[in-house]
Amino acid sequence: MGARTFISGWPVYRQLTGDDPLGRGAAVKSEHSATLQPRVRTASKVVKSVCPYCAVGCGQNVYVEDGPDGERVTQIEGDPDSPVSRGRLCPKGAASLQLTTGSSREYKVRYRRPHGKDWEDLELDTAMDMIADRVIETRRAYWQDEAEGRYVNRTMGFASLGGATLDNEENYLIKKLFTALGAIQIENQARV
Amino acid sequence: MAECHPVGFQWVLEAKARGATVIHVDPRFTRTSALADLHVPIRAGTDIAFLGGLINHVLSTGSYFADYVIAYTNAATIIGEGFSDTEDGDGVFSGLDPESRSYDAGTWQYEGTEVAAASGHRDQQQYKRLGKGSSPGSKSGRGESHGSGGASLQGEPERDETLRHPRCVFQILRRHYARYTPEMVERVCGIPQHLFHQVADALVSSSGRDRTSAFVYAVGWTQHTVGVQYIRSAAILQSLLGNIGRPGGGIMALRGHASIQGSTDIPTLYNLLPGYIPMPHAHEHETLDDFIAADSAAKGYWGDMRAYMVSLMKAWWGAAATAENDYCFDYLPRLTGSHSTYETVMAQQAGECKGYFLMGENPAVGSANAKMQRLGMANLDWLVVRDFSLIESATWWKDGPEVESKQMRTKDIGTEVFFLPAAAHTEKDGSFTNTQRMLQFHHQAVEPQGDARSDLWFMYHLGRLVRERLAASTDPRDRPILDLTWDYPTKGPIAEPDAEAVLAEINGWDAHGQPLASYEQLNEDGSTACGCWIYCGVYADGVNQAARRKPAGEQNWVANEWGWAWPANRRLLYNRASADPDGKPWSERKALVWWDEEKALWTGHDIPDFTASKSPHYRPPKGATRGEALSGVDPFVMQADGKAWLFVPSGLTDGPLPAHYEPQDSPFRNLLYAQQRNPVRQVFPHPANRYHPTPGERGADVFPYVLSTYRLTEHHTAGGMTRWVPYLAELQPEMFCEVSPELAAERGLEHGGWVTVVTARNAIEARVMVTERMKPLVVDGRVTHQVGLPYHWGRNGYSRGDAANELSSMALDPNIHIQEVKALTCDVRPGRRPRGKARDRLVRRYQRRARIGTSTGTEM
């Protein structure tokens, strides 16, 4: 590196001689910052989505990168096309990358047996079988053909309380299946 | 709005930049107040008095939009002679039965007819008419069990368009609201008269032919023992001002969850079927015809309820649903009263409800009286929790407050707990319905890892497993589950059900399996299937309309090519009201839809929420029913009379008009009436759910401060989606309590120090935030302090603290069974709360001091 290049590499030199006297643009760029690329540049695809927090319904662009371990989400940004949000996200929406990919998410089924002191491991398939058995048993044990002399055709044995960040399609299956099972205590956050 | 819906708030600021006046009414000064033209601090729990003052102002100064009011509301309709108002009953309406603590709505009816409500408690009156007797369960508050004799449905309501008849709605309103004076508003709400007049003047001058005003509320408005009547008050005011169905007008509910509108439309709610069809109640020998007759309306679009209902049952039970078996109507379970989540908590404690699914919900933090929630869960056989992280509702059996205080021991708790990790929105396909009824589809970006699965996966496979187990059953009780259409295609490595296939079923199809385009195509003969009639059209032409994303810049300001809104992609409900009775816009600057005389069609910027070819001059022939019975000047097409209801003759359980009642826990007597509280509110006497004394009783001053709960920008409801997110946990790291400098001085609280907040239910601790944002108010001549508590916290996650809902009680609105958590009373004391058993001892000491017993605060 010659002396001239060395000197011209100093931001203060470039600031004094170039067209960026306040040092807020080109003058202060290092080689590192000049070659930085936005995380979204390397995405293999951009998936259209919607913020999962409140009911404003801000548009999201979900950036996915294909790597050796398969696809992963690398960034979530506001969708500028959305007539609702015009590309903006609030602190929660902007943190949805951490919500979806953060280390505090659980990925294993946990099981606590009656009177148990701690969690145990359980296979997902086993858990599903056990839950299906519980539903059938409880439904039968607490079945009512009639209540106060009137036809009711129901079970009061189990209840469901859902969040309201579930998809419409999910709610539809909850209502359809539980109603067909005769359960009526099916509720969600909208009541709360 | 700036705090909890900041991105939506950008449009308020756009309006402000164009000259709009922004008024913020809130007990606290928030980021919204900072950007508003006017902040109006109000005592929590007194909004009906405040709004009533505005209604009185509009009526007494003649500031209502007369042409709109006469043509489009029921102001001119005459009410039957039997009705008596709160004016005559010192705070109660005619029809109150003190024994059952419920109203008989019979005297609230229109003269000469009976109308069915478009929502709410719909078969209130109609059952009597059918001679089917009553239904059990007076606690449900359903008027049907004590309805009056039935007038004919065929009658036409009598109207007096001069608005002079003493029993017309307009005159009833005048008398009802006369006592809601600015002086009374000041005494009840703590709002000085000059401030009240500023609001009234701004509202009136920005309403009318050329201008509109909008009301925006967060759903805290619903969280009162009079929640529905809060919204009703706004509806009356906005209808009088002509601000409904017009651009820039309306009453906007800012809902707090991505698809909370969707979870009401496709309800996981006990009292509803998809599209607001009521769940059937238990009656003797009820047929589908009886059900339809009781719940549908002769006029308006609810007149087609049979088509919606039959199509729903065809979607659920397919070929098994036939005309001969009433389309499987008997497969539906029946209600016998209220079965809301709070009744479920009581049933769990009584040992009547033994299994519980929690899917993305954290009642141990988010529901009123968190202890009651945990006591219920501790009495279950099994509990399934599906969430991202180990929320408090999953771990209470080992580390909940009752375990900490030794009220419960882990080894004594028999509840079997399954925790199943949930998939995120980026890991599944599906649609959310936002707060403006707009469905937006989100697409799967990646596969969920490990055991994480969508709720769609969970429900589909649970149903599959149950059906496999019951496949050989001959028990008729199992037919509904075996006949269920449950053959959704699955895809990918984890056999994820195809969400679009479910959406296609919600949309519905005709006899040939072709997707339907509109609910007007639904038939009552079983030839169409449709999972939710108001969503019919979301999959028109086999295209996922909710996934449409034409950029905002490439379409008009209504932007109806982005997503899809129900009904029929109309963006503004009842927008026929944006035009005058002749079909012309009320003014050019407020034009939205209008009648094109030449083409003989409704047209405009939005899709008209009206039959496109129905002329404004159409008048129904005698004996017309359903949609045909609505005239060309009936914009409110879901209402049986096509009018906006200033007075509600049917559908509400606590009165046809809003009346101010004090909250369940209040430091003040009701200054407006002798009746202190909503006489038909729901209360649940229980040792862990004690109420505070009525003001004036001995011990009432033990809880002198008003308490309100709220949300922060950086957290979401019960925290399940934010307290585990490091950025957000860092932004709002712990539970705090907002108090004014005056209250801090009165109780010796130090900024940054600790405070213990106590109610008859529990005691919690929080960091003290002394701030002038909390202004003491002068209520009825007395300085009143309000305490603010965000309710996001629990003991798990990165950001921790006591849950505000330890303090709240289960006291509910009787219409919708929502808890009162926005207006409570409390005491505050410096320092941390006691640990272990001492915490309970402190609460019991307060109960003794306040002389609280089993019946305290439960009187009518």
List domains and CATH numbers for chain A. Answer: 3-35 (no CATH), 39-101 (2.20.25.90), 142-191 (no CATH)
Low-confidence ranges of chain A (pLDDT < 50): none
The reported pLDDT for the residue numbered A6 is: 78
pLDDT for res A24: 86
In this structure, what DSSP letter does residue B534 have? Answer: G
- Looking at residue B716, what DSSP letter applies? -
For B33, residues 6+ apart whose C-beta sits below 8 A from its C-beta are B24, B26, B39, B773
Helix %, strand %, coil % of chain A (to 5) = 35, 25, 40
Residue B572's nearest CA partner among B212, B38, B43, B107 is B212
Range of the domain at B18: 6-74+173-254
| Model pLDDT, residue B150 | 28
Nearest CA in chain A to B312: A176
- Alpha-carbon separation of residue A167 from A173, B457, B495, B722 (angstroms): 10, 12, 18, 19
Query: CA-based diameter of chain A, in Å?
Result: 100
Within this chain, do residues B412 and B347 fall inside the same structural domain, yes or no? Answer: yes
Pair (B613, B695) in one structural domain: no
pLDDT tens sequence across B342-397: 999 999 999 999 999 999 999 999 999 999 999 999 999 999 999 999 999 999 99
How far is the alpha carbon of A31 from chain B, nearest alpha carbon, in Å?
A: 30
B495-536 pLDDT, tens digit per residue, is 999 999 999 999 999 999 999 999 999 999 999 999 999 999
Of B238, B254, B270, the last residue of a domain is B254
Residues B58-91: tens digit of each pLDDT? 999 999 999 999 999 999 999 999 999 999 999 9
* Residue B691 and residue B622 share a domain: no
List the structure tokens of B512: 């040939």
Q: What is the mean pLDDT of residues B256-263?
A: 96
Comparing CB atoms, the residue among A110, A132, A162 nearest residue B465 is A132
Pick from A51, A132, A165: which is nearest to B466 by CB?
A132
Inspect the interface and report whether the beta carbons of A48 and B421 lie closer than 8 Å.
no
pLDDT at B311 over 90: yes
Q: Decide if pLDDT at B677 tops 50.
A: yes
Same domain, B694 and B623: no
If we measure between CA atoms, which residue out of B93, B116, B111 comes closest to residue B103? B93
- Give the pLDDT confidence score for residue B815 in this predicted structure: 95
* 3-class DSSP state of B738: strand
Under a CB-based contact definition with an 8 Å cutoff, are residues B151 and B109 in contact?
Answer: yes
Instruction: Give the burial class of A101: count Cβ atoms within 10 A of its Cβ; 0-12 exposed, 13-18 middle, 19 or more buried.
Output: middle
Domains in chain B, number = 4
Chain B residues closer than 8 Å to A79 by CB: 549
- Does residue B664 contact residue B94 with C-beta atoms inside 8 Å? no
The Cα B163–Cα B59 span in angstroms is: 12
Percent of chain B with pLDDT over 70: 95
Residues B621 and B698 in one domain: no
Residue B307 belongs to some domain of the structure: no
In a domain, B509, yes or no: no
Same domain, B748 and B834: yes
**Token pair of A139 as six digits:** 């439904």
The average confidence (pLDDT) of chain B is: 94
Residue B139 lies in a domain: no
Same domain, yes or no, for B402 and B468? yes
Q: Is B733 exposed, middle or buried (0-12, 13-18, 19+ CB in 10 A)?
A: middle
Q: Are residues B214 and B248 in contact, defined by beta-carbon separation less than 8 angstroms?
A: yes
Chain B residues closer than 8 Å to A102 by CB: 724-726
Count of CB atoms situated within 10 Å of the CB of A48: 18
What is the pLDDT at residue B143?
32
Which candidate in B132, B428, B459 is best for mutational testing of the A interface (most A CBs within 10 A)?
B459
Which residues touch A126 (CB under 8 Å, ≥6 apart)?
none
Residues above pLDDT 90, as percent of chain B: 91
* CATH number for position B10: 3.40.228.10
Query: At residue B484, does pLDDT exceed 60?
Result: yes
Q: Do B733 and B766 contact (CB within 8 A), yes or no?
A: no
Q: Residues B579, B582, B588, B592: what is their CA dihedral angle, to the nearest 10 degrees?
A: 30
- Break chain B down into helix, strand, coil percent, rounded to 5: 30, 15, 50
Domain boundary among B254, B279, B311: B254
B106 in any annotated domain: no
Residue B687's contacts (CB-CB under 8 Å, 6 or more residues apart) are: none
Could you give the CA distance from residue B23 to residue B719 in angstroms, rounded to a whole number?
29
Task: Identify which of B49, B68, B48 has the alpha carbon closest to the alpha carbon of residue B170.
Answer: B68
**Which domain-ending residue is among B597, B617, B635?**
B635
The DSSP output letter for B346 is H
Question: What does DSSP assign to residue A15?
Answer: H
**Mean pLDDT score, B264-272:** 96
Question: Can you name the residues that pair with B788 across neighbouring β-strands?
Answer: B708, B738
- Distance between start and end Cα atoms, chain B: 35
Closest by CA to B578, choosing from B609, B611, B618, B612, is B609
- Joined together, the tokens standing for residue B191 give 């709002």
Same domain for B700 and B608? no
The answer, yes or no, to whether ipTM is higher than 0.90 is: yes
Mean pLDDT of B390-419: 97
Dihedral sign computed on CA atoms, order B270, B275, B276, B277? negative
**Are B430 and B499 within 8 A, CB to CB?**
yes
Quote the tokens at residue A23. 């040092």
Mutate to test the interface with B, among A144, A172, A184 (most CBs of B within 10 A): A172
**Whether B413 and A115 lie within 8 Å, measured CB to CB:** yes
Residue B248 and residue B358 in one domain: no
Instruction: Please tell me the pTM assigned to this model.
Output: 0.94
Asked if the Cβ–Cβ distance from B442 to A102 is below 8 Å, we say no
Whether residue B834 is contained in a domain is answered as yes
Q: What is the CATH number of the domain that holds B467?
A: 3.40.50.740
In three-state secondary structure terms, B487 is coil
Residue B561 lies in a domain: no
> Coil, strand or helix: which one is B762?
coil
Give the E-state strand segments of B518-649 in sequence order. Answer: 564-565, 593-596, 601-604
Q: What local confidence, expressed as pLDDT, does residue B129 receive? A: 45
Tens-digit pLDDT profile for residues B127-169: 544 444 443 333 333 333 222 222 234 467 899 999 999 999 9
Residue B598 in domain: yes
Judge whether B593 lies within some domain.
yes
- B734-746 exposure pattern, b = at least 16 Cβ within 10 A, e = fewer: ebbbbbbeebbeb
What gap in Å lies between CA B364 and CA B804, rounded to an integer? Answer: 11
Q: Cβ–Cβ of B274/A172 closer than 8 Å?
A: yes
Residues of A in contact with B531 (CB under 8 A): 172, 176
Count A/B contacts: CB-CB distance under 8 Å. Answer: 498
Rg (CA), chain A: 28
Say whether both B691 and B616 belong to one domain: no
DSSP B119-145: SSSTTTTHHHHTT----S-GGG--GGG
Residue at B519: amino acid letter = Y
Residue of A nearest to B363 (CA): A161
Over residues B433-450, mean pLDDT = 97
B355 and B456 together in one domain: yes
Pair of tokens at residue B213: 């005003």
Structure tokens at B575: 């927008």
CB B393 within 8 A of CB B364: yes
Distance CA B592, CA B602 (A): 11
Residue B799: which CATH number? 2.40.40.20
Q: A165 vs B259: CB contact, 8 Å cut-off?
A: yes
Residue B636 in this model has a pLDDT that exceeds 90: yes
Same domain, B587 and B692: no
